[in-house]
Amino acid sequence: MFRNTRSVVKGFPKRVVHLTSLDEITDETLFTQSNLELLEDLKLSDQKKQYKLENDPRIIWLADFLKNHKDRKCLLICCC
């Protein structure tokens, strides 16, 4: 099996990393919510959490970023 990696397939532009820190994430409520989401994703919590994304600063920022960069390809890597 062959894999089409950037080193094999020529003509790709150089990757440019743009890290973003959200100041709102320091809010204790959002921090707790993020941890609960992670625990549920890892199946380490028995609670079934309903995500309320409409006021989540992570989602608001991402939606705004994608609207402003419609003509670009974006790779989103998330971590806690």
Tally the domains of the chain: 1
pLDDT of residue 49: 60
Q: Residue 60 falls within a domain, yes or no?
A: yes
pLDDT of residue 32: 78
Confidence band, pLDDT 50/70/90 cuts, at residue 68: very high
Domain hosting residue 46, numbered range: 32-68
Q: Residue 16 falls within a domain, yes or no?
A: no
Q: Residue 55 falls within a domain, yes or no?
A: yes
Q: Residue 63 falls within a domain, yes or no?
A: yes
Q: Residue 78 falls within a domain, yes or no?
A: no
Question: What does pTM read for this prediction?
Answer: 0.52
- For residue 71, pLDDT beyond 90: yes
Q: Residue 57 falls within a domain, yes or no?
A: yes
Q: Residue 21 falls within a domain, yes or no?
A: no
DSSP string, 16-78: -------GGGGSHHHHHHHHHHHHHHTT-----PPP--TT-HHHHHHHHHHHHTTTS------
Mean pLDDT along residues 25-34: 71
pLDDT of residue 25: 63
